[in-house]
Structures are given as C-alpha cells and as structure tokens.
Chains A and B, each alone.
Chain A
Amino acid sequence: MSRCQVSGEPARVEHEDVWIENGIVLLRWPVGVVITGVTARRAFDEVNRVSADRPRPMLVDMANTKSVAREARTVFGEPSAASRIALLGRSPVDRVIANFTLGVSRVPCPTKFFTNRDQAMAFLREGLDERSD
C-alpha cells in the first residue's frame, strides 16, 4: 500500500491511498477531498507505479468527494495502467461528479460509476476474465 501526503490540504483529506488487491488496483480518495490537477497527477503516477506499468482494472473509491477541478479531469483523460475503471460513490453528489467526469472528459478505457461495491467489482472482473480468455 502506498500513502501519499497532500500538503496544504485539510487534515481529514490529507492523502489518497493506492494499493493492489487480487490483481485490482484500488484508489481511495479521502472523504471530502477536493481533487486538483496536482493531486490527480500524483495519484495517476502512483497508480502507474504500483501497477508496475501493467494494465490492470482499478476501483476508485470516491465516496464523498467534494469536487473535481477541470485540470484533474484532464489528467483522468490520459492513458494509464488502468485497463478498466469502476468509480464507486454513494451520494447524489458523487454521481454528478463521476458522470460529469465521464461525460466531459474522454476516458481512455471502459469506465463506469457504481454505488454498489459488488457490482463495481463484478464489472472489473469482467475485464480480468476478458484478459484471461
């Protein structure tokens, strides 16, 4: 598991976590995070690093994200190690943010928003199955 410090942000949103579990990359944003271009870039690099540059499905836990800056959405549009992305949220705000990101940015791999973790994992596993075929 990798931990990144986010200097200058509120203590409760001071870092995002990136790790691998059963071949799936997990990225968890802190509750109430404001995702800027800088934090997006840092998370993006970290995902690539822990993936060891192999394509992997990724679960992004973005529950209770406060906002996503335009610059951050640009970073999410760049190709990365993620081969398939499930965005996991809870609130209507998460849904708006996620769909806004999906709608405005051109995402480089299949990406969907879920409020149910199992459904999200099933979607990611589809990717794993496709690859193992």
Chain B
Amino acid sequence: MSGPIDDGRLDELVDLIVRLASGDLKARLEPSRASDSIDAVITGINLLADELDTIYQTLEQRVLERTIALSEARVELERMALSDALTGLANRTLLGDRIRQATARADRGALPPCVLMLDLDEFKTINDSLGHSAGDQILVEVARRLRSVVRQTDTVARLGGDEFAIVMPDATEDDALRVAERALKELQAPVWVGDRPVWAGASIGLCFGRGSQDGEDLLRDADTAMYAAKKLGRGNIQIFRAEMHLAALRRLQVASELVTAMAENQLELQYQPIIDLRAGIVIGAEALVRWTHPERGELLPEDFIPIAEDSGHMIELGHWVINEAVRALKDWSEQLPPTFRVHINLSPVEMRWAGAADYVRQTLEKYDVPPVRLAVEISETATMTGDVAILENLLALSKLSVGVGIDGFGTGYSAISYLRRLPIDTVKLDRSIIADIAVDSQQSIFVTALLHLIESVQLRAIAEGIETAEQLDCLRDLGCDYGQGYYYSRPVGADEMRKMLSTAPMDRSD
C-alpha cells in the first residue's frame, strides 16, 4: 500500500492512541475492509491495547488479592496477639484492655466493672494423672462453658494454666454473682475425656472496680478473693474484701520468713510418742514441725505448711524435716527399742516430686540409719487422687523398706479398695472419729467397722488424738492396738524424746 490516504482513518488512529494514552484501555478502532497497512497498524494497536488491558487487570487483581491477604493476616495477627491459642478466649492483654474500657465507661456514669477470677480445683492432679492432652481438652471445654454463662458484653479470658477471668462491665453485685453461680453450676457436670468422666470444679473470686483502681489491681484483688474461696474448699465464691489483701500480704511475708526460719534454726521437730496400747510401750513417734517465730511465738504446721505449699517452699521444708528426723534417729540409735520408728508427714506436693523417694534413701544412707526406722504418712485424700507420681514414690519407699502409712483415715472415702492396692502398712484413724468414741455408741460402731476393715487387709491401725482414759479403754475394747495423743504425751523435743526412750514403759492403763 502506498500513496497518500485521506479517508480519515489516520485521524481516527491518532484519536485511538490519545484515548489509550489517557488510560482508556478499552478503546479500540475497527479496521476497514481495505486490510491495508493502516488497518494493520490499527489491528496491531488493538492487539497491544488488549495485552496492556489484560496486564493491567491482572496486576490490579493481584494487588487486590495481596491487599486482602495482608489485611486478613493483620487481623489474624491481632487476633493471635489478643487471644489464647488453645481456647480462643481473650488473653491477658485483651482482658486488660477490656477492663480499661469498662473502667472508662464507669467514669462516664456506668457501674464499675466486676472481674471474676476462676481457678480449677485439682487441675494439676488431672494433668499429672491423665496427661497434658486430656488437660487441654478440659481447658477447651471449660472455656466453652464459661462463654455460655456470660452476658454479651462480658469478656472471658484465659490467663494461663487453669486460670480464667471474666470482666463484666457495668455490673451489679447480683449480675456478677449470677454469672459466678452459673459458671460453677456449668462446671459441676463432668467433662468427658474419651470415655472417662472428669470433674473440673472451680473456685471463683470476685472484685468490683473502685474509683481509679487500675486493671492490674482489679485482677490482683480478684485473685486474692479466689484464693480465699479456694481455702474454703471446692466450688466456692468469694467477693474481695480489703482484709483479704492484708491476709495475702501476710502470707507473702510468711513465705519469705520461712526461708529465713529454715536457715536460722527457727524450726524444730517435736515428737509425739506412738504407744502399744496393751503393753504400754513406745513403739514409735510422729515427728511434727514447729516454728518458733521471733515475733509471733510458736506457729503450728497449719499456720505455715499451706503457705509453703503455695509458695514453692514445700520441697525444701520437706527436706529439712526428713533430714532432722533421720538425724534424730541416728542420735537415739543406742536407746531405740527394736521396732521403734519415726513417722514423718509428707504433703502431696512433696510426694508428687519425682525425687522424693530418692531423697529419703540418700538421707538414710548419709546417717547410716536402717530404712525400717522411718515411716512416711500421706493423707487419705492425697492417695485418692490416683496420682501416678505419688504412687510411684510410695512404691519406691515401700521397696526401700520405709514404712508407708495413710493419715487421717475415716474422714475421706475410707475405701477398702485402695487400702489393698497401695503399698501401705499402717492406717491412722483420724482424731475426729476418736473424739466421741466413749460417749457415742454409733461412733463406737463406726470405729469398730473401720478397725475390722483395716484388720481384714492386715494393716496396723493407729488411733490419733487419744486424750482420755475412757477413749483408751474403748479403743482397747474395740481391738485397736496402737495410738497416740495428749493422754500419753504432747509432742516433745528431741532431747525429751530421748529420755522417754530410756525410761520405763508408758503404761497408763491403771
């Protein structure tokens, strides 16, 4: 094709290029029927415009997709940063944020927020005995149940472990108590782990916001109230009171003083003789720890053992007791009657510690004391948890020839099945069931039944808390062979115990 062309197509072509250049990528020009070079250029530009348009659309689509993906990732990151990965509940950060929002609302005239702190009872035991996977299942289920009992405006959070919190904005005491009670009720139903029902009861502490109190303070006080609820037993609800905070501070102080007490010999082991009730001779002694506090005088185990357990000092305290008792046995070795042994109490915290039996063995070896001279006692309720770690320690101690006894029998389940299953040799009847034995015939029948139960599995029964001659007579008549109590002797120091071992039998039957 040659020669000048003046059919207007060149002008149209210029217009097409201008439109395309201005961003109108849909612009096209129809080639003529001439199919000449100008049409070839038009066709080429149309095709290039097609390409350009497609590339632009693809790019725009990709940018859009990436923007959406980035936005979703940002939302997911925010969610992860503010939620608990296991349960999907809010985490501590988000909870703090919600408390701040609720407090700000209260500043504008709404009611102050209430924070509920909830801690599962015996969760550690569940985790230890059924495994962490089962523990996780339970936490997820607890989270679901807690979500089902709150109002739409409330936030449920998991703070870690088995600790949950709920923040209720604009809440009355009735609102908060209603939610707390519904939570406890929901948790009463068992959680099924496979075909095994597990009960995950809880204790709840409540704290209402006051004035300028910040979120951390609210959580701390709700935690203090929860702690108070736990102390009252399972499934309790407590509302924070100022004195609880003082008590918590006192507990902290006691925990730190206990470390000093161990280092500075403020602790002492006292020994209460265990008597053969027929022969009247001392066949053993229960070692009981006492703390002579420089300011508050003598403290009983119940004043500081629970604090030691909660503050992580129990293992250290337990070691001190084991060491002292074995050292005393070594000191008394020349006066000891042939079958005499010292009974020490081990808390569930110590018994769950994997090295417990080993520590006892090492201490006996250190002082060259035969294992048969020592017996450990563990509470009936601790053995009932079925904790594998506890059972392993009991078996190891028994294999070592250290005596193993159940303490406080008659107050818990008192089941024969576990008496047969556990590697134990003695059972201590709790003082509470001995108290009225001489005046209450029903109680006497109950004790008779317990003694038969113990005898049937060929274990030795020791009655605790014998305070009167009548109680002693009764126990003898019922066939109880061993006992201890103020009637014979209060707990005494190591020196006095040594003297007692050197003197005549303690027959006070006359």
Interface residues of A (CB under 8 A from B): 32, 64, 66-70, 90-97, 100, 104
What are the residues of chain B within 8 A of A93 when measuring CB–CB?
31, 35-36, 39-40, 43
A114 to B2: give the CA distance in the assembly, Å.
21
Interface residues of B in 1-38 (CB under 8 A from A): 1, 31, 33, 35-37
Q: Is the CB of A92 within 8 A of B39?
A: yes
Known: A70-B54, A91-B35, A93-B36. 12 other contacts (CB 8 A): A32-B33, A67-B47, A70-B50, A91-B36, A92-B1, A92-B35, A92-B36, A92-B37, A93-B43, A95-B40, A96-B40, A96-B43
B44 on the A face (CB < 8 A): yes
Q: How would residues 35 to 58 of chain B score, 1 for a CB under 8 Å from any chain A CB and 0 otherwise? A: 111011101101100110010000
Q: How far is the CB of B467 from chain A (nearest CB, A)?
A: 101
A96 to B37: give the CA distance in the assembly, Å.
9
Given A64-B35, A67-B46, check contact A91 B51 (CB 8 Å): no
When C-beta atoms are compared, the residue in chain B nearest to A104 turns out to be B51
The secondary-structure label for the interface of chain B is helix
When C-beta atoms are compared, the residue in chain B nearest to A99 turns out to be B44
What are the residues of chain A within 8 A of B37 when measuring CB–CB?
92
What are the residues of chain A within 8 A of B54 when measuring CB–CB?
70
A64 to B33: give the CA distance in the assembly, Å.
9
Q: How far is the CB of B49 from chain A (nearest CB, A)?
A: 11
A95 to B37: give the CA distance in the assembly, Å.
10
Q: How far is the CB of B30 from chain A (nearest CB, A)?
A: 9
Residues of B within 8 A of A (CB-CB), count: 16
What are the residues of chain B within 8 A of A96 when measuring CB–CB?
40-41, 43-44, 47
Q: Is the CB of B35 within 8 A of A100?
A: no
When C-beta atoms are compared, the residue in chain B nearest to A63 turns out to be B35
Can you sample 9 A-B contacts with CB below 8 Å?
Answer: A67-B47, A68-B47, A70-B51, A91-B35, A91-B40, A92-B36, A94-B35, A96-B43, A104-B51
What are the residues of chain A within 8 A of B43 when measuring CB–CB?
67, 93, 96-97
Among B1, B31, B36, B51, point to the contact of A66 (Cβ < 8 A): B31
* Interface hub of B35, B40, B44, B50 (most chain A Cβ within 10 A): B35
Q: How far is the CB of B452 from chain A (nearest CB, A)?
A: 92
Q: Is the CB of B47 within 8 A of A97?
A: yes
A100 to B45: give the CA distance in the assembly, Å.
11
When C-beta atoms are compared, the residue in chain A nearest to B1 turns out to be A92
What are the residues of chain A within 8 A of B41 when measuring CB–CB?
96
A93 to B31: give the CA distance in the assembly, Å.
9
When C-beta atoms are compared, the residue in chain B nearest to A100 turns out to be B47
What are the residues of chain B within 8 A of A67 when measuring CB–CB?
31, 43, 46-47
A24 to B44: give the CA distance in the assembly, Å.
30
What are the residues of chain B within 8 A of A94 when measuring CB–CB?
35
A63 to B227: give the CA distance in the assembly, Å.
92
A94 to B43: give the CA distance in the assembly, Å.
9
When C-beta atoms are compared, the residue in chain B nearest to A89 turns out to be B35
A90 to B1: give the CA distance in the assembly, Å.
12
Q: How would residues 191 to 214 of chain B score, 1 for a CB under 8 Å from any chain A CB and 0 otherwise? A: 000000000000000000000000
A32 to B33: give the CA distance in the assembly, Å.
9
Among A69, A91, A100, point to the contact of B44 (Cβ < 8 A): A100
Pick the 4 closest A-B CB pairs, nearest first.
Answer: A92-B40, A91-B35, A93-B35, A96-B40
